[in-house]
Structure 1
Amino acid sequence: MSEIRPFANAPEIHLNPRFALMGLGALFLLVGVYSGIYQVPAESVAVVQRFGGYLKTETPGLHIKLPWGIDQVTEVEILRQQKLEFGFGTRGATNPYQYADSNNQEEEKTMVTGDLNTAMVEWVVQYHISDPVAYVFNFREPVPTLRDLSQAVMREVVGDRTVDEVLTIGRQEMETRCAERLRELVAALNMGVRIDQIQLGNINPPDDVKSSFNDVNRAKQEKESSINAASGNYNQIIPKARGEAEQKIKGAEGYAAKRINEAEGDAARFKSVLAEYLKAPDVTKKRLYLETMSEVLSQVPGKIILDDKASSFLPLMNLRQATPQTTPAPATR
């Protein structure tokens, strides 16, 4: 039997070493050109490192770098506001460090207040990168470090306040204090980020005592409502009483002023009459008599004045005769 050899009739391929080297060189050059071109997004800048050291910062657009790992580019989003969530998590976040996993969320929001009570505090830290070079070089993991600092600051602030302040009236003051303290730490560590604001979310007591806390808060609200109602009645009644008292005082003062002015006027009139009387007693006396009689007699109806020398007043009786009444004529049939 004859031996069967596979591909016995296949043509032999001879590789030219020169062409092979040129092909490898072209491929190497193509890979280098492709890896040497990069694009920076509009909201970011690129921190370029050469052999691990800082070289430059590139603005958004198309740029070229040395390939094969000589230059390394780190994109940093400086125009985008980022946030860190504590105690809860919003799904779909692009930042892997935006929130902790579900197992750690319960732990990070459980805090002890200054009066040794427990509160469940949720909050959000909003920040943006202000110095990309410091952000890249000063910390190996800047975002996890910022999360740890935020938790430390919040626990410090909550630990300085009572549970009533944390749950009710102290929210705004806590947000302000936490933001100030975190800005101080970030600036001291030169992390390259700027804290925009801190917003507190849900603050609740633990589930075991939540109903008791709700009863206490309800009682406090009823107390405040009663105090406000009493204050409203007080503000309504007291000003009214004060106004009425002021009105009566003003009325009494006006009446007193009127009586004083009348008395002073009468006294001045009497003095003027007295002065005239002293000048001509008979004339003044007669004038006063006539004026007085004029006032008195004008009030008396049906009066007749006679001369003391008249012998009789009978002829004068006909001066006031009654008007005769007309008798109606009898009706005719």
Structure 2
Amino acid sequence: MSWDWEKLKEQQKKGDMPPQIDEFVKKINDFKLPGGAFLVVLIIAALLSTTMVYTVKPGEVGVIQRFGKYIRTTQPGLHFKLPAGIELVKKVNIKLVRTEEFGSVSIAARETRFSQESSATLMLTGDLNVGLVPWIVQYRIEDPYNYLFKVRDVQRFLRDMSEATMRLVIGDRSIDEVISKRDEIAVEARELLQKELDQAETGVHIATIEMKKTDVPEAVQPSLNEVNQATQEKEQMIYQAKEDYNKAIPAAKGEADRTIKAAEGYALDRVNRAKGDAARFTSVFNEYIKAQDVTKRRLYLEALKEILPKMEQKYIIDSEQKNILPLLNLGKQNGAGK
């Protein structure tokens, strides 16, 4: 049954009310499509309606493409788009932290990939040693547009750049630093890797790089042990030499300072004594100039005062006395008579 469009238009021009709902439903029921065409139309309409509605979960964003071209990015929630074949939605989780492991693949789980991962972590250090360096890269998608459209295979690119960056960092360090300074290496590798990923516009943010236990291949383990032992002996000898140095040098410096101080004291004493003697001589000389006879007599008396107490026997005679020889034997005669 066809619609009476002319009558409907006349009613609208006259300002009459549109047909009642029951009349509208009756007309729809009376309208029949030949065969199963009505069912096909309903199925197509249902399919189109389901492809026009989509839901973005929390932590995700929806990237809409129209005939393959990027149009817009939608946030979490219920959204509408054009039917399938016209617009396509790709959901990207920007909160999920993804993990890439290097050198820790299980043989039982991935036998075909184990040799590749082992060779990837076999690295040459700056001191020409070989080390097994396993690590983990954790990252998340920061820019969905760059992640989807700027790089063809972001995961593969990330793995290749991670390996290249780690080899660059390890190649600048010795095997001892690679083993003992893993945190420092992880920080430096993260900064370099993030710089490369930003330049390539991958839309990836590196959350962290975790360095696992670094070791050496079994074939070179004995040689490394000998090197470590020799290094320890070398350090022990250096510490012993420093200890002896710290003991001997301060003692020698102390002895030298003491000798210098003693010499300075002796020199000061000698100078002061010389200055005192010179001053005393000068004062005596000045008095001698004033009264030469008195000074001579005083000097003579002072000299006798020092000499006479040291003499055992004293004979005082007159200068006019003659024949004094017998007097010198008086003591012996008295002693003989006893």
Give TM class, smaller chain. 0.5 to 0.7
**Distance in 2 of aligned mates of 1:254 and 1:135:** 85
**Residue 218 of structure 1, CA deviation:** 1.9
1:228-271 per-residue CA deviation (whole Å, 9 max, x = no partner) reads 22222222222222222122212222221232123223322332
**Residue 127 of structure 1, CA deviation:** 4.4
- Given that 1:119 and 1:163 are in contact with CA atoms closer than 8 Å, whether structure 2 keeps it comes out as no
Paired AA for residue 270 in structure 2: R
Identity of aligned residues (%): 37
Alignment map for 1:218-297 (pairs within 5 Å) = 218-281=229-292
Q: Is 1:132 aligned to 2:144, yes or no?
A: yes
Would you say how many aligned residue pairs link Structure 1 and Structure 2?
267
**Distance in 1 of aligned mates of 2:180 and 2:277:** 70
Alignment partner of 1:191: what SS? coil
1:100-129 per-residue CA deviation (whole Å, 9 max, x = no partner) reads 954543232223567876432222335454
**Residue 139 of structure 1, CA deviation:** 1.6
Alignment map for 1:163-182 (pairs within 5 Å) = 164=175, 178-179=189-190, 181-182=192-193
Q: Is 1:40 aligned to 2:51, yes or no?
A: no
1:251-308 per-residue CA deviation (whole Å, 9 max, x = no partner) reads 2222212321232233223323433443344666677789x69x97xx99xxxxxxxx
After superposition, the CA RMSD in angstroms is: 4.5
Q: Is 1:31 aligned to 2:50, yes or no?
A: yes
Alignment partner of 2:92: what SS? strand
What runs of 5+ residues in structure 1 fail to find an aligned partner? 1-15, 91-99, 301-333
Aligned twin of 2:101: 85
- Given that 1:128 and 1:195 are in contact with CA atoms closer than 8 Å, whether structure 2 keeps it comes out as yes
**Distance in 1 of aligned mates of 2:63 and 2:198:** 21
Aligned twin of 1:74: 91
Which of 218, 226, 231 matches 1:207? 218
- Given that 1:52 and 1:72 are in contact with CA atoms closer than 8 Å, whether structure 2 keeps it comes out as no
1:30-82 per-residue CA deviation (whole Å, 9 max, x = no partner) reads 7357x4232332xx5544434432233445x435231644241432426x665
**Distance in 2 of aligned mates of 1:167 and 1:29:** 59
Q: 1:52 to 1:277 in 2, by over 3 A?
A: farther
Aligned twin of 1:121: 133
More helix per residue: 2
- Given that 1:130 and 1:194 are in contact with CA atoms closer than 8 Å, whether structure 2 keeps it comes out as yes
**Distance in 2 of aligned mates of 1:82 and 1:251:** 78
- Given that 1:130 and 1:192 are in contact with CA atoms closer than 8 Å, whether structure 2 keeps it comes out as yes
Alignment partner of 1:209: what SS? helix
Q: 1:280 to 1:182 in 2, by over 3 A?
A: same
Q: 1:30 to 1:270 in 2, by over 3 A?
A: same
1:188-224 per-residue CA deviation (whole Å, 9 max, x = no partner) reads 3222234566554333221233233223222222222
Q: 1:118 to 1:140 in 2, by over 3 A?
A: same
**Residue 87 of structure 1, CA deviation:** 0.6
Alignment partner of 1:75: what SS? strand
Which of 141, 144, 153 matches 2:153? 141
TM-score in terms of structure 1 length: 0.61
**Distance in 2 of aligned mates of 1:17 and 1:287:** 168
Paired AA for residue 64 in structure 1: H
**Distance in 1 of aligned mates of 2:218 and 2:237:** 29
Which of 62, 66, 79 matches 2:77? 62
